[in-house]
Amino acid sequence: MKFFIRRYYPLFINVYTVWILYLLYFASFRYSKTILFEIKTVPFQTINEYSTKVILWDKEEAFKNVFGNIILFIPYGFLGILYPKLNQFKWLFITFFLTINLVEFSQYYFRRGFADIDDVILNATGVIIGFFIYKKWFFIKDR
């Protein structure tokens, strides 16, 4: 299993990244006349709205938003396979945090959604979960 993951992860993560970028910038569900293009900087504001207001009307949407933002970013916790420096939690977290902030704010800048600190928090949570899965079950000793 470890050999399979090490061998095919580079191909998988590249194709997966293109798909994620498509979802973030071009997927049809992202376009709506009701989307407000704004920057949300208050941590947990959107998560709180989903847990208190939206969940009453649309539980599926709340579930998709919260858990989707976590689950979709778990594979990025395995980036240490490609970049040995990212086997260290500190470097993986710093690299991902800077990258996901760039993505979030570019969504706002290019009017493809809004920049939301909660998305950053949820995406980072996914990467952290992925990192610990990678370290626990798939860790291959560095050379």
Kindly give the confidence (pLDDT) of every residue in the chain, 143 residues in length, as a single tens digit, with 9 standing for 90 and above: 677 777 899 999 999 999 999 988 887 555 555 556 778 889 988 888 877 766 566 677 777 888 999 999 999 999 998 999 999 999 999 999 999 999 999 988 888 878 899 999 999 999 999 999 999 877 655 44
pLDDT of res. 142: 45
What radius of gyration do the chain's Cα atoms show?
A: 16
28 within some domain: yes
Distances (CA, A) of 9 to 17, 73, 74: 12, 14, 13
Q: Are 9 and 130 in contact (CB under 8 A)?
A: no
67 within some domain: yes
Q: What is the DSSP string of 27-56?
A: -GGG--TT----EE-STTHHHHHIIIIIHH
Residue found under tokens 């970013």: 73
Domain span at 50? 2-137
142 within some domain: no
Distance CA 74, CA 25 (A): 20
Q: Are 112 and 25 in contact (CB under 8 A)?
A: yes
Q: How many helices (H) and strands (E) does the chain have?
A: 6, 2
pLDDT of res. 143: 42
pTM: 0.83
63 within some domain: yes
- ∠ CA 64-62-126, nearest 5°, is 50
Number of domains in the chain: 1
